Amino acid sequence: MRKGILSIGAAAAALTLGLTACGGESGDTSAESSSAPSAAAGDAKPGKIGVILPDSKSSARWETADRKYLQEAFDAAGVQSDIQNAQGDKTAFQTIADQMITNGATVLMIVNLDSGTGKAVLDKAKSQGVATIDYDRLTLGGSASYYVSFDNTAVGKLQGEGLVKCLTDKKADKPIIAELNGSPTDNNATLFKQGYDGVLQPKYDSGDYKKGPDQSVPDWDNTQAGTIFEQMLTQEPKIAGVLAANDGLGNAAISVLKKQKLNGKVPVTGQDATVQGLQNILAGDQCMTVYKAIKKEADAAAQLAVSLAKGEQPQASGTVKDTEGNRDVPSVLLEPQAIFFDNVKDVVADGFVSKDELCTGDFADKCTEAGVS
């Protein structure tokens, strides 16, 4: 899937300096190489940027991190923006996009709710001359001019390796693994699964681990995740490790495990380094999470959007293959980081969560123990 990746520093430099194609590692960005500003660049007032976030329940990140960092970046660039949240409603998503365009958006950045509805939004925007960016989730078969995200297969790999580490630490013997996957309509969930199955499948094959229940959670719905995991544990009470695709799904599994007093005994993974996920790690109920420095993702996307709003044709650092649309999408992909008890402090040091919100009540002592300052 991934063809080229550069650090954000390099990507940012390429964008800022308007360098011509460097090709990243993939060496095939030449088709998108033109960074020459269009005739209008610099002359006219920049257009407006519209951003549509997917929901506020599947992960805390969209409202607490993405919105904040994107807004800050647009404001710092002095470009007008409108950030809205579709709250999981696919019809509302299209309506919001239409309104944004009517109200003067010349750039539209979306986090799709699924590829089909995302494609409709992108295609319609494009037909009206609006530049488009896929933010975090690639719209398969879509028409976005750019894609900004993390290396999502690497995210899954960290989750798989993290679970293996925690099971090894617990000296687990032939553990039965449950997989609680993300939404079947989110291309990222497919990539995360590719990543962790790449680690787990060889262990199933060798007989070191036993494959247990493996199910996707529609729309990453945390409540449904609880119901699904409850059924998994009823069917297979000896589940000894849970690969949960994000912190919300992980927390749903932990809540069910708590009822059986199995929390802390059965390692659970996560993603997003949410306050809840980090607190679950501090409490010993969650084995790990994956920290994605969303400020960098938001900054990279905002930089592209601002440049497009000014009528320029920015260059991305690499490309990602859209297998459905059979095209190479100019992309910026960032590297994720695994977080365990010992390096929870890194997330605080990076300013992603504050000590105040993390180290509340009973977590204060745990924070001290984990060296959070």
CA distance 57 to 52: 15
Q: Which is nearer to ligand BGC, 56 or 343 (CB)?
A: 56
CB of 337 to ligand BGC, least distance (A): 13
Beta carbon of residue 137, minimum distance to ligand BGC (angstroms, whole number): 5
Among 2, 3, 46, 59, binds ligand BGC (CB under 6 A): 59
CA–CA separation, 82 vs 60, rounded Å?
20
212: left (phi over 0), alpha (psi -120 to 50) or beta: beta
Asked if 269 is part of the footprint of ligand BGC (rule: CB under 6 A), the reply reads no
271 binds ligand BGC (CB under 6 A): yes
Residue 61 binds ligand BGC (CB under 6 A): yes
Q: Does 159 bind ligand BGC (CB under 6 A)?
A: no
Least distance from ligand BGC to the Cβ atom of residue 170, Å: 26
Which of residues 286 and 307 has its CB atom nearest to ligand BGC in the complex? Answer: 286
Which of 29, 185, 216, 246 is the binder for ligand BGC (CB under 6 A)? Answer: 246
Diameter of the chain measured on Cα atoms: 67
Among 188, 251, 279, 319, binds ligand BGC (CB under 6 A): 188
207-236: contacts with ligand BGC (CB under 6 A): 220
User: Taking CB under 6 A as the rule, which mask of x and - marks residues 137-156 in contact with ligand BGC?
Assistant: x-------------------
**Ramachandran quadrant class, 28 (left: phi over 0; alpha: psi -120 to 50; beta: rest):** alpha
* Residue 162 tokens, joined: 């993290």
Report the residue from 29, 58, 112, 181 that binds ligand BGC according to the rule CB under 6 A: 58
Q: Answer yes or no whether residue 157 interacts with ligand BGC by CB under 6 A.
A: no
Comparison of 246 and 280: residue with beta carbon closer to ligand BGC: 246
Rounded to a whole number of angstroms, the minimum distance from the CB of residue 270 to ligand BGC is: 9
- Using CB under 6 A as the binding rule, whether residue 272 contacts ligand BGC is answered as yes
Name which of 94 and 276 has its Cβ closer to ligand BGC.
276
CB of residue 326 to ligand BGC, shortest distance in Å: 22
CB 60 to ligand BGC: min, Å = 9
Stretch that binds ligand BGC, among 26-34, 181-189, 257-265, 302-310 (CB under 6 A): 181-189
- The residue among 206, 360, 164, 196 whose CA lies nearest residue 278 is 360
Closest approach of ligand BGC to the CB of residue 352, in Å: 13
- Please identify which residue in 32, 114, 151, 186 interacts with ligand BGC, judged by CB under 6 A: 186
Residue 297 in contact with ligand BGC, rule: CB under 6 A: no
Q: Is 117 in the site for ligand BGC (CB under 6 A)?
A: no
- CB nearer to ligand BGC: pick between 33 and 87: 87
How far apart, in Å, are the Cα atoms of 252 and each of 178, 247, 340, 372? 13, 9, 19, 26
Determine the interface stretch with ligand BGC among 17-25, 54-62, 71-79, 87-95 (rule: CB under 6 A): 54-62
Which positions touch ligand BGC (CB under 6 A)?
Answer: 58-59, 61, 136-137, 182, 186, 188, 220, 246, 271-272
